[in-house]
Amino acid sequence: MTEPFIQLKDIYKRYGTGEAAFDALKGVSLDIERGEFLAVMGPSGSGKSTTMNIIGALDSPTRGEYLFEGLHVEELTRDERALLRRQYMGFVFQGFNLLPRTTALENVELPLLYRGVPAKERHEMAREALKRVGLSAWESHTPAELSGGQQQRVAIARAIVTHPLLLLADEPTGSLDSQRSLEIMQLLSDLNRDEGITIVLVTHEPDMAAFAKRRIRFVDGAIESDTRTLEVSDAR
């Protein structure tokens, strides 16, 4: 029997010390298989963002084990975690995080630049990623010349240009209207289905979580519920 793609084993995360200490996670255990589309939900302060940061190797647990394809991430140095993120993960955030004076194509190329990919190959890969998100005609436009939905598509293209195994999306529709939100979620759903990218989505919106095949709800630093659906809701 093969091991799960991602394993969190009895994860605790404490911030601060003494009387100011706060336990953000209290013994979280979670297995995620390759190719899953998982939504993480819960009220503010429930532990969902802390869990996302640990899965994304942006933070380390106070205790417990985190295995990424059998690799003990909690034992890695800061530089080793950065390498893991660069090689195997993509990130999408609510605020887009695009460079304002840089074209869509150049924004998408950034992760490849950090990897040292030659310019010609970099341009080709970035163009292919923009095509995948439906923005081939917008590659020379700066963020100021794009709508919010288009900017988030550029951010998604940047996240997938390296062909990551794992895509982490933290409230990716939080700055968008309802129609653009549905378009972004449909795009993520298509990427999960067509390319097999494992997606972990943090959201407080049930309509957005409905696109996921599995929904985890956090309350007070622990998993309250873990539900799966056989069919992804089609909100088009």
What is the CATH number assigned to the segment(s) 6-96+164-228?
3.40.50.300
The widest CA-to-CA distance across the chain, in whole angstroms, is 56
- 17-73 pLDDT per residue, tens: 888 899 999 999 999 999 999 999 999 899 999 999 999 999 999 999 999 999 999
The helix or strand, by DSSP H or E, that contains position 214, with its residue range, turns out to be strand 214-219
CB 24 within 8 A of CB 15: yes
- 108-165 pLDDT per residue, tens: 999 999 889 999 999 999 999 999 999 999 999 999 999 999 999 999 999 999 999 9
CB 46 within 8 A of CB 220: yes
Cα(55)–Cα(76) distance, rounded to whole angstroms?
13
Predicted model pTM? 0.91
What's the burial of 213, exposed, middle or buried (CB within 10 Å: 0-12/13-18/19+)?
A: buried
